[in-house]
Amino acid sequence: MMTRTTPFKSLFILLFLLPLCKLSAQETTKENISAKAQKMEWFKDAKLGIFIHWGIYSVNGIAESWSFFNNYLSHDNYMKQLNGFNAANYNPQEWVKLIKGSGAKYSVITSKHHDGVALWDTKTENATTTLKNSAAKKDLISPFVTELKKSGLKTGIYFSLPDWSHPDYDGFTRERKRYKLAEAPARWNKFSTYFHTQLDELSASFKPDLLWFDGDWEHTGEEWQSAKILSNLKKYNPNIIINSRLNHHGDYETPEQGIPVLKPDNDYWELCYTMNDSWGYQPYDYKYKSPNMIIRTLVDCISMGGNLLLDIGPKADGTIPDEQVNILKQLGRWTNKHAEAIYGTRAGIPAWHFSGKTALSKDKKTLYVYADWATKTNEELLLRGIKSQPVSAKIVGTKMAASFSKKGSDLLVKIPSSAADQDVTVIAIKFDQPIELHELSTPNTSFADLKEKGTADQLLLKKLANSLHAGNNPFLNTSLAVDGIGLEKDKNTLSPGLYNWITKNAEALYKTSKGLPGGHYQGASALSADKQTLYLFVEGTPTGPIALKGIKNKISRIRIVGEGTMIEPQLFNKLYWSAVPGIIYIPIPQPRLDKDLTVIAVLLDGPLDLYREKVGAIESNL
């Protein structure tokens, strides 16, 4: 028997249930967030992984897959590299030893790139494998994963969704497609079964902790059946971690090549990054970044709460190029020494507090300060806006303490000269409670403040630089000219060192305005009146070249202010067809450094133009 419900009664039931539904949804969301946080904990703690691009492209030392896709050579000639891919000296145990020694906590290896060549013994129809089709006659993934798991490192598998060599995949080269999906749905379904089966094989055989997808931009999530992929993967490992390249079904963001200017919005992210300009082995790509640059890139990622996935490209015989081995070993020197300030840390405090990078312990009771410069004699590091009183400070990786003092909201820290690291010195500052910070305040050093007695010149200059950076220029209402003339009447009211510095660096003080917004340069800066010259304030003795990110302009000239030395910058990670700027590294000759604070003038080809957009996957690679 059916009971009829009156409209009034229906409305009453609806109004009664709505709050319950809302509460249930909130609880589910909280549960999902909590479950994800638990799943992602090891990844967020890891900070460093090693990417491995290995495939037949290493035989000729050409671009992986893209070289035939872009018609740089024919597909047939590309695939002939199978005959030279012998892996004769492949030693997965040595690989893992080197990877673990670098300080990495996980590794991601290419199981199959866009060329479709599988490095494991896939049983799928029409598959090209290193076991059946290459000179190696081996499954190359199985022994590596075995060694990874024995070492305690987490296992990551890279998998290309596109397969440009498979007869049932629609894409073939940039100019040629095999068919249109709408006209041949049966062929697409056949290919879908093929790659879904391969993913099942990888899951069952290797039980990866992480799957690193690539190439999702070639089709929609519905066409790839992304939801089905994720559901199937979770059957093998409910806690599988997926990168962002599965049409919005992933767990974390994967900016590629360009270090983000701003911290990505996602709580979880990883920069995938090459040592030179190539993913796979290319013998004539000599543009390797120095170990110092790589270490500082890792620090940059740590400070923003992300990971660095650093790539190596082994040769066709399975050996790793000497340049790459050296970088991994130098990276291992630094990570082993500073483990406390790397693994398990969280994003640091806002950039305006310190002219360098920082990170926090999980409980926020320890602030890690990274200085990629050696301080000068009696120089102190300046941290601004620190409300909490520290209880101790030490140099990480040593038994030495750092001395500190608090003056209002300024925290001054002195590093023993013998404690400086050759790449990045780390100071751990401990507090009794989670660190408390003052709200952002605009530094405003007046000309009268510069006459303050009893304050070291170096400290006054740091405060001056911060004030200029914020757009508060104390020289606008003085008679100081661009050539340093005009302050003669004030000479006796300033310390001799400060007066000499001001007159030497006058062009960086004359009518200059607010500097770069956060993320582009780690220190203070100022901008000329015509917006075409950047002035960078450089503390101490840098351990390597200083870096600029996200500058769209071309660089016309770089020189040291006040003494004229010209400097030739180095540009890394600039892809000519991409709008994302490369990283500008500026090497400063040590003999030309100012004893207190060095100023670098960067002349641009026009008014300053900045890139602050999200850095994502590279989808062209022309």
DSSP 140-179: -HHHHHHHHHHHTPEEEEEEES--TTSTT-SB-SSS-BS-
Q: Which of 416, 431, 446 is where one domain is finished?
A: 431
Contact by Cβ (8 Å): 356, 369: yes
Whether residue 418 lies inside any domain: the answer is yes
Based on the fold, state whether residues 298 and 162 are members of the same structural domain: yes
Which of helix, strand or coil describes residue 420?
A: coil
Residue 12 placed within a domain: no
The whole domain housing 407 covers: 357-431
Q: What is the DSSP string of 469-497?
A: HTT--TTTTS---TTS-S-GGGGGGS-HH
CA distance 494 to 482: 19
pTM: 0.93
Q: What is the largest CA-CA distance in the chain?
A: 104
Report the alpha-carbon distance of residue 470 to residue 513 in Å, rounded: 8
Tracing tokens 């400063």 back to the chain, one arrives at 588
82 occurs within a structural domain: yes
Q: Give buried/exposed letters for 58-78 (b at 16+ CB in 10 A, else e).
A: bbbbbbbbbbbbeeeeebeeb
Terminus-to-terminus CA distance in the chain, angstroms? Answer: 70
- Inside any domain, residue 420: yes
Question: E-assigned strands of 174-222?
Answer: 210-214
100 belongs to a structural domain: yes
- The parts of the chain modelled with pLDDT lower than 50 are 1-28
Q: What pLDDT score does 387 carry?
A: 97
- If one counts the domains in the chain, the total is 3
Calpha distance 67→621 (Å, rounded): 9
What pLDDT, on the 0 to 100 scale, is given for residue 615? 67
Q: Find, among 128, 129, 95, the residue nearest to 109 by Cα.
A: 95
The structure tokens listed for 64 are 């992986």
Query: Same domain, yes or no, for 427 and 568?
Result: no
Q: Confirm if 359 and 302 have CB atoms less than 8 A apart.
A: yes
pLDDT of 3 reads 35
Evaluate whether residue 410 is within a structural domain: yes
- Of the three residues 431, 466, 483, the one that is the final residue of a domain is 431
CA 180 to chain CA centroid, Å, is 38
Q: Specify the amino acid at residue 81.
A: Q
Same domain, 568 and 535: yes
Burial class (CB in 10 A: 0-12, 13-18, 19+), 91: middle
Domain presence at residue 423? yes
pLDDT for the residue 21: 45
Please report the sign of the dihedral spanned by the C-alpha atoms of residue 564, residue 570, residue 575, residue 581: negative
Same domain membership, residue 102 and residue 244: yes
Residues 535, 575: contact at Cβ < 8 Å?
no
Assess contact for 316 and 281: CB atoms under 8 A.
Answer: yes
Residue pair 372/300 in contact by the 8 Å Cβ criterion: no
Alpha-carbon gap, residue 100 to 112, rounded angstroms: 23
Distance between CA atoms of 72 and 621, rounded to whole angstroms?
12
The DSSP letter of residue 55 is: S
Name the nearest CA neighbour of 273 among 249, 240, 308: 308
Query: 89 with 197, same domain?
Result: yes
**Do residue 400 and residue 321 come from a single domain?**
no
Shared domain for 372 and 335, answered yes or no, is: no
**Last residue in a domain, options 305, 339, 373:** 339
Q: Are residues 409 and 460 in the same domain?
A: no
| Alpha carbon distances (Å) from 455 to 305, 379, 380, 463, 597 | 35, 12, 12, 11, 15
Tokens of 207: 């039980």
Same domain, 368 and 334: no
Tell me: do 469 and 393 sit in the same domain: no
Do residues 226 and 93 share a domain? yes
Q: Report CA-CA distances (Å) from 563 to 183, 532, 542.
A: 69, 20, 18
Residue 613 lies in a domain: no
256: domain CATH number?
Answer: 3.20.20.80
Please give the pLDDT value at position 619.
55
CATH code assigned at 427: 2.60.40.1180
Q: Which two tokens stand for residue 185?
A: 């749905």
- Amino acid identity of 339? A
Same domain? For 214 and 138 the reply is yes
The pLDDT of residue 276 is: 96
